[in-house]
């Protein structure tokens, strides 16, 4: 009996790989049925460079992965190139993209098994258990199920390949071998950074591994390699970080507006506790966190105090084991390095916390647990009862985590299904409610059935109101409600209120400025409307409707020269639009040139103008110029 139980711990490499592949497929195969979701839009199907296919690759290589004119995200060309190739071969097909993500995830897990056994020297059992827990841990469902998060998968793959390369570097005996593996290490690290910068801590972890293995005792190899890799990595990061212009807002992370060190440290500790707790109990999931889902707390908060003590003891224990040459110590210190960039220690992290942030750190967390337990239960002094209990616990954990994976991937089916599954426990998140309301609004406007439209729009309005209840100074909550009342429900009084409220909170937002100016015009306050469009015209001189309203309102408020100048420009921009002739007609009418005004108004009507004031002007003009039949025809149209 004892021998049989001992044989259970014997696992060959091929069997381990097959089991890992099977587990990945069972947990994630239903991702192939999913559509696009969350940030897949700007990463793939609305990305101007990706949508060009292969011909867009030069732009991908020379631009940030996303930019909207005011914001520029960082440089992540590797994933975008794979998207461009997919677009070229398969069009906008989310099922193909999900399939590629699943294959990459399987490769990640298999590569992890190899790194743990060859590079870190773990025996097959703890390495397999680490890779297995990594494969099925529900915290990774976001990375696998989100097409956009392929960048995480690719960054992870190139990092592990860099570990292989640096390990092989120190095994070489010739100059050719050293040069080959040094170049391979550098290329893999740079490709990892070019996939996503979340791999930055891996350079520190690599140094810790080299020190742990004692390779610093080979100074002629260690110092040239580390210096070369370090300098090139820093130079590369300095160059690509200059592309980024993506500030973190307070609704994403309230710490950006705090200078109180006690609040910063306390909230950092609370963030670290969230990650630690989520590794053990991955529930509930959230598509977004942000403001008030992890509240800002001071150091004396009970959760913060507990987290500080817990992580301080864990770090001390890890460093102690590290210098005792216990591999668990290396994994613990690596976890702290990997999680540091997400903990709000270095800088406020977008969304304050996230599940995908654990993709890299979870490797070291799980490796530390598995290596620590295995070294203590594999000895002859441990009873079979303890081993059976651990195996039973592992079996239950696999079943529970597997079921959670399958359910979560199903929830990731599309944008609505994901947000609907999470929104009930995100009542304190301003942006989660705002994003959900926006998606529901778009869904409602796409409906042809009236009852379906009302169903989606009712819930959308509810969550926009939740948005402004949570953050009364957030202008876009009011702005979106204004759009609903103005264009969907034709409630001009309500739209006037919400657009005015949004404008009072932030007069610099161009979308808000436009709708505010337009509603002021419609309600007869020409001065306020003219002032709004004059400011907007300075920002958007090439936007046709901005030029139209600016020209019209300058003339309506007595500034004929500026109005005519803008009207002439609008005529050059859009002579085929009735609005350009309408503006010119207003100018000639106010300049007391009735013949020219009538000519322009006639052109405006031919192009589709239905403004009653234009009809009335022409009726009076025709009657006063002996053209009663034309006046009668227009009167019938006006009625």
pLDDT tens-place string over residues 402-417 = 999 999 999 999 999 9
> Does residue 430 have a pLDDT over 80?
yes
Please, is 242 exposed, middle or buried when counting C-beta atoms within 10 Å of its C-beta (0-12, 13-18, 19+)? exposed
Q: What percent of the chain has pLDDT over 90?
A: 82
Higher pLDDT, 73 or 348: 348
Higher pLDDT, 242 or 395: 395
Are the CB atoms for 532 and 512 separated by under 8 Å?
no
Residue 72 backbone phi and psi in degrees, to 5: -130, 120
Q: Which residues pair with 72 in a beta bridge?
A: 67, 245
- Which helix (H) or strand (E) covers residue 441, if one does? helix 430-445
> Does residue 152 have a pLDDT over 80?
yes
- Which helix (H) or strand (E) covers residue 369, if one does? helix 359-377
Supply the pLDDT for residue 119.
Answer: 96
Q: What is the mean pLDDT of the chain?
A: 93
Angle at 601 between CA 597 and CA 605, to 5 degrees: 175
Of the pLDDT bands very low, low, confident and very high (cuts 50, 70, 90), residue 249 is confident
Cα dist. 50→32, 69, 150, 620 in Å? 21, 17, 14, 56
Cβ contacts of 420-427, under 8 Å, gap ≥ 24: 421/285, 422/284, 422/285, 422/286, 422/287, 423/463, 425/284, 425/286, 426/286, 426/288, 426/293, 427/466
What DSSP string describes 511-558? HHHHHHHHHHHHTT-HHHHHHHHHHHHHH-TT-HHHHHHHHHHHHHTT
Supply the pLDDT for residue 384.
Answer: 81
Supply the pLDDT for residue 512.
Answer: 96
Supply the pLDDT for residue 65.
Answer: 83
CB neighbour burial string for 451-477, b if at least 16 within 10 angstroms, e if fewer:
eebeebbebbbebbebbbebbeebbbb
Supply the pLDDT for residue 243.
Answer: 75
- Encoded tokens for 269: 């500790």
The rounded distance, in Å, linking the Cα atoms of 531 and 543 is: 17
The rounded distance, in Å, linking the Cα atoms of 87 and 197 is: 25
Distant-in-sequence, close-in-space partners of 628: CB < 8 Å, separation ≥ 6:
622
Q: Could you give the residue range(s) of every CATH 1.25.40.10 domain in the chain?
A: 460-638
Handedness of CA 423, 359, 198, 365 (dihedral sign): positive
3-state secondary structure of 245: strand
Are the CB atoms for 312 and 276 separated by under 8 Å?
no
> Does residue 380 have a pLDDT over 70?
no
Higher pLDDT, 634 or 422: 422
Q: Does domain 460-638 fall into CATH 3.90.1300.10?
A: no
Cα dist. 361→215, 279, 612 in Å? 24, 10, 66
Q: What percent of the chain has pLDDT over 70?
A: 97
> Does residue 336 have a pLDDT over 80?
yes
DSSP 8-state symbol, 559: -
Residue 464 backbone phi and psi in degrees, to 5: -70, -40
Are the CB atoms for 581 and 601 separated by under 8 Å?
yes
Please, is 113 exposed, middle or buried when counting C-beta atoms within 10 Å of its C-beta (0-12, 13-18, 19+)? buried
Supply the pLDDT for residue 6.
Answer: 42
214 backbone φψ class: left, alpha, beta (φ>0; ψ -120 to 50)? left
Of the pLDDT bands very low, low, confident and very high (cuts 50, 70, 90), residue 4 is very low
Supply the pLDDT for residue 11.
Answer: 67
Of 276, 344, 266, 274, residue with least CA distance to 308: 266
DSSP 8-state symbol, 487: I
**Whole-model pTM above 0.75?**
yes
Are the CB atoms for 267 and 255 separated by under 8 Å?
yes
3-state secondary structure of 173: coil
Cα dist. 275→131, 139, 194, 289 in Å? 19, 10, 25, 13
Q: Summarize the confidence of residues 566-575 as an average pLDDT.
A: 94
What DSSP string describes 499-520? HHHHHHH-TT-HHHHHHHHHHH
The rounded distance, in Å, linking the Cα atoms of 393 and 154 is: 32
Supply the pLDDT for residue 8.
Answer: 42
Supply the pLDDT for residue 414.
Answer: 96
Supply the pLDDT for residue 2.
Answer: 39
Supply the pLDDT for residue 70.
Answer: 67
> Does residue 251 have a pLDDT over 90?
no
Supply the pLDDT for residue 481.
Answer: 97
Alpha helices in 57-115 (DSSP H): 57-62, 77-90, 94-114
> Does residue 5 have a pLDDT over 60?
no
Q: What is the CA radius of gyration of the chain?
A: 31
The rounded distance, in Å, linking the Cα atoms of 261 and 270 is: 14
Supply the pLDDT for residue 387.
Answer: 81
């Amino acid at each position: 009996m004892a021998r049989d139980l001992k044989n259970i711990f014997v696992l060959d490499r091929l069997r381990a790989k097959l089991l890992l592949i099977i587990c990945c497929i069972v947990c994630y195969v239903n991702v192939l049925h999913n559509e696009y979701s969350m940030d897949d839009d700007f990463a793939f199907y609305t990305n101007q460079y990706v949508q060009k296919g292969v011909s867009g690759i030069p732009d991908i290589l020379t631009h940030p992965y996303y930019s909207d004119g005011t914001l520029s995200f960082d440089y992540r060309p590797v994933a975008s190139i794979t998207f461009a190739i997919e677009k070229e071969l398969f069009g906008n097909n989310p099922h193909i993209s999900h399939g590629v993500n699943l294959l990459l995830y399987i490769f990640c897990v298999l590569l992890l098994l190899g790194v743990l056994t060859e590079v870190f020297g773990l025996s097959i059992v703890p390495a397999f258990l680490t890779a297995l827990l990594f494969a099925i841990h529900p915290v990774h469902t976001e990375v696998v199920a989100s097409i956009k998060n392929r960048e995480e998968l690719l960054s992870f793959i190139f990092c592990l390949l860099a570990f292989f390369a640096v390990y092989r570097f120190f095994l070489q005996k010739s100059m050719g071998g050293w040069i080959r593996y040094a170049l391979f290490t550098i290329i893999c690290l740079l490709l990892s950074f070019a996939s996503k910068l979340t791999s930055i801590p891996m350079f520190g972890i690599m140094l810790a591994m080299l020190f742990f293995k004692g390779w610093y005792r080979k100074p002629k190899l260690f110092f040239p390699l580390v210096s070369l890799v370090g300098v090139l990595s820093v130079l590369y990061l300095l160059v690509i970080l200059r592309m980024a212009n993506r500030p973190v807002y307070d609704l994403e992370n309230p710490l950006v507006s705090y200078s109180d060190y006690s609040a910063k440290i306390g909230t950092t500790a609370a963030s670290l506790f969230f990650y630690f707790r989520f590794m053990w109990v991955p529930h509930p999931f959230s598509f977004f966190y942000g403001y008030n889902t992890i509240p800002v707390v001071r150091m004396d908060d009970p959760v913060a105090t507990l987290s500080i003590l817990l992580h301080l003891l864990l770090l001390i224990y890890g460093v102690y084991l590290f210098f005792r040459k216990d591999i668990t110590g290396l994994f613990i210190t690596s976890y702290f390095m990997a999680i540091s960039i997400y903990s709000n220690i270095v800088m406020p992290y977008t969304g304050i916390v996230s599940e995908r942030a654990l993709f890299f750190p979870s490797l070291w967390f799980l490796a530390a647990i598995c290596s620590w337990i295995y070294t203590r239960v594999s000895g002859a002094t441990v009873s079979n009862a303890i081993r059976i209990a651990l195996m039973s616990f592992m079996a239950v954990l696999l079943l529970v985590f597997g079921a959670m994976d399958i359910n979560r991937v199903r929830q990731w089916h599309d944008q609505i299904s994901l947000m609907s599954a999470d929104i009930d426990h995100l009542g304190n998140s301003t942006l989660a409610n705002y994003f959900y309301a926006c998606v529901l609004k778009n869904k409602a406007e796409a409906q042809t059935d009236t009852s379906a439209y009302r169903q989606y729009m009712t819930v959308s309005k509810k969550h926009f109101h939740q948005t402004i209840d949570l953050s009364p100074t957030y202008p876009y909550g009011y702005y979106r409600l204004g759009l609903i009342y103005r264009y969907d429900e034709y409630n001009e009084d309500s739209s006037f209120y919400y657009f005015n409220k949004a404008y009072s909170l932030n007069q610099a937002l161009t979308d808000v400025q436009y709708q505010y100016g337009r509603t002021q015009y419609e309600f007869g306050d020409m001065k306020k409307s003219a002032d709004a469009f004059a400011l907007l015209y300075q920002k958007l001189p090439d936007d046709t409707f901005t030029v139209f309203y600016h020209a019209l309102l300058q003339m309506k408020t007595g500034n004929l020269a500026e109005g005519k100048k803008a009207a002439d420009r609008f005529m050059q921009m859009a002579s085929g639009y009735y609005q350009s002739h309408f503006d010119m007609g207003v100018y000639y009418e106010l300049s007391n040139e009735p013949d020219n005004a009538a000519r322009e108004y006639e052109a405006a009507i031919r192009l589709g103008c239905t403004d009653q004031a234009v009809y009335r002007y022409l009726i009076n003009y025709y009657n006063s110029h002996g053209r009663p039949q034309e006046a009668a025809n227009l009167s019938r149209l006006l009625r």
